[in-house]
Amino acid sequence: MLAGLILVKRSTMALDLFSLKSSLVVGLFLFASLTACKDEVIPEEFPPFQTDKKPLLVMLSAVWSEYAGESGIPFFYGAVTDSFDFEVVPMVAHSSTIGDPFYALAASQFFNLYGAENYPELGLNATGFNYRTVDWLPAVRASKFDTTGGTPTEARPAAVMSIFKRIEGRDVKIKVRVRIEKAMANKQLNLGVYVTENKVAAYQEGIGSTFNHMYVLRGAATPGAWGVNLGNGSFAVGQVLTYEGSFPINPFMNANNVFVNAVLFDMQNNQPVDVVNAHSR
């Protein structure tokens, strides 16, 4: 009888130990599964805010413009890459609705803003420049400085931005944060978000062959002529404004060569009078 009791007790203990081990195994499996699922979630982390003031540089162009190919494109590309010791936000806007595969409605809006008449023409922030003059480069360099008080000093940005972007299928998911750095009053601030693409192989008159177009303006992610209104009136230091949207990637675009460009416009009568800051990612 005693032997029987001992055997039953041992069997019960073995069963309890087995149950405990099974529970631990199941628990570890569930933990591992939850951890694996957690790792698959991509965090939507914003990069640090920019610390500088970047000018918006625009060249108005057309693939059928011989002068744009011979002179405008080499000049603009060279200026963007070699002429400045600071970062800029470049865009090449194709506004011709006839014979240009790069046409974008946003490009037409810049054409009108700058009062352009032909191709190529140039823009700096909200001001247009005749390509045949020589005042665009000095104006771009001067835009980095504040001459208030008579002594040029590097301009401090009135607002800075951070851009989050992620490719999801055939869309670019975009979030932009704007942080106010200087108090502003009686302002209408609009945020325009533009998508550009690099290394787009296409023919260009004046070059005479297919080559890689850079900074091609594909369109605006924000609705309206000049983006979304972030507010009117006064803006306090440290105030953060946020935009969220997306942009479709057409079958002819390479998602790996896509850039998101955020432009903060100072508006009057629903037209840009200046660019507070620009940023790209």
Peptide bond connecting 120 to the previous residue in cis, omega within 30 degrees of 0: yes
Question: Measuring CA to CA, which residue among 50, 23, 70, 32 is closest to residue 158?
Answer: 50
> Within 10 A of 223 (CB to CB), how many other CB atoms are there?
8
CA dist 60 and 147 (Å) reads: 29
Strands 121-124 and 89-94: unpaired
Q: Can you tell me the distance from the alpha carbon of 140 to that of 59, in angstroms, rounded to the nearest whole number?
A: 13
Query: What is the structure's pLDDT at 225?
Result: 86
pLDDT of residue 4 exceeding 70:
no
For residue range 197-235, list pLDDT tens digits in order.
999 999 999 999 899 999 999 999 999 889 999 999 999
Give the integer Cα–Cα distance in Å for 163 and 211.
Answer: 30
pLDDT greater than 70 at residue 10: no
Instruction: Tell me the percentage of the chain whose pLDDT exceeds 90.
Output: 76
What confidence score (pLDDT) does residue 179 get? 98
Q: What is the pLDDT of residue 44?
A: 61
Q: Give the pLDDT confidence score for residue 224 in this predicted structure.
A: 85
Tokens of 8: 């039953």
- The 10s digit of each residue's pLDDT in 128-166 is 999 998 899 999 999 988 877 777 888 899 999 999 999
Q: What is the pTM of this model?
A: 0.83
Question: pLDDT tens digits, residue range 245-278?
Answer: 999 999 999 999 999 999 999 999 999 999 999 9
pLDDT digits over 56-108, tens only?
Answer: 999 999 999 999 999 999 999 999 999 998 999 999 999 999 999 999 999 99
Confidence of residue 14 (pLDDT cuts 50, 70, 90): very low
10 Å CB burial of residue 94 (0-12, 13-18, 19+) is buried
Would you place residue 43 in the very low, low, confident or very high pLDDT band (cuts 50, 70, 90)?
A: low
